[in-house]
Structure 1
Amino acid sequence: MSVWRRYLVKDVTGRLVDLPSSLLDRADDGTAPLPHFAGRCVEMVAAVIVGDRKTHARVTELAFTKLYFDKMGYVDAAKRERMIRLMLESCADRRCRPPRKDVDRDARQDDCAHLSRRAVAARDQLIREFGWEPKPAERDAALSRLDPARLRGTPSQPARTLH
């Protein structure tokens, strides 16, 4: 069984087109730019696919996001770092635990409330800057390119759309 990833990007006409992972990797690691994306924010579908490459491959994860490129056509490192920082901050409230008996309960609750406010603000900012809420037709178009069997549905399962 294999695991691989595929990327689709929205072109200037609004269609989803394949972006080979090798090209994206080179633009991300700074070895080869994608000049046609220079200075742009691109809406991208990132998929993780598991299975046999010829038969029974299934999309196991699907993300709709925005990817920023610098003026040369490389993935914008500062934006990437900001996204990672916001992702980490957005999880801060999940680290809060109920106060132990030997710890000042009020201080602990204040810390958790502060972390919760920061996490909510980070999630909101993450969605504003890096989130892409695709229309149902865009989700279906992505699925039809990446996993046609899932969109059609098989006899054992109904057709579905990922949300």
Structure 2
Amino acid sequence: MPVWRRYLVKESTGRLVELPSRQYDRADDGTAPIPDYAGRCVELVSAVLVGKQGATPTVTEVAFTKLYFDQSGFVDAAKRERMIRLMLESCADRRCRRPARRTGGTDCDALEERADAARSELMRDFEWAPAPAEVTAALFVLGPPGSAAPLH
């Protein structure tokens, strides 16, 4: 069963416009910039769709994030690396949540503090918390009414 991605970018007017996945991929892998986004942070809707050929696809996952572009219009690699590092750090306290590991000598207070700080930075710099109307608009653009779409 085919699986593919779709991207929508929120314009300054609030309108959601399609960002072709091939164009996004080329800006992400450094082969072709997107000049319109050079030096900008954009609010991005990314979706995973699943469907059989000839059938209406189902939206299976939707995420709302901020995406940074460098001055040339490529996806900003340093910002992406920072986001990944923060995502990993935000999980640092998980090993303290298991009762069997709690007594393993790990400084859980320090890990929890580090993880909380990382989660705060992630939310501040990379999370887009859309209004309910924006979520509805994104789902409308992405697929037919009634598509199942867990929000992340």
Give the drift of 1:14. 1.4
The one-character-per-residue Cα deviations of 1:72-110 (angstroms, maximum 9, x if unpaired) are 00000100000000011111111234356xx9x4833xx
Counterpart AA for 1:15: R
Counterpart AA for 2:143: D
Contact 1:140 1:161 survives alignment (8 Å): no
1:133 is aligned to 129
| Structure 2: 5+ residue stretches without partners | none
1:107 is aligned to 105
The one-character-per-residue Cα deviations of 1:12-35 (angstroms, maximum 9, x if unpaired) are 321001000000000011100000
- Aligned equivalents of 2:104 and 2:150: distance in 1? 45
- Aligned equivalents of 1:81 and 1:75: distance in 2? 11
Contact 2:60 2:150 survives alignment (8 Å): no
Q: Which moved more, 1:132-141 or 1:87-96?
A: 87-96
By percentage of residues, which structure has more helix? 1
Between structure 1 and structure 2, the one with the greater Rg is 1
2:3 is aligned to 3
Sequence identity percentage: 65
- Aligned equivalents of 1:142 and 1:85: distance in 2? 28
1:91 is aligned to 91
Q: Which moved more, 1:54-63 or 1:72-81?
A: 54-63
Q: TM-score, normalised to structure 1's length?
A: 0.84
Q: Which has the higher contact order (CA 8 A, sep 6+)?
A: 2
Residue aligned with 2:93, SS: helix
Counterpart AA for 1:29: D
Q: TM-score, normalised to structure 2's length?
A: 0.90
Counterpart AA for 1:114: A
User: How well do the aligned residues superpose, as a CA RMSD in angstroms?
Assistant: 2.2
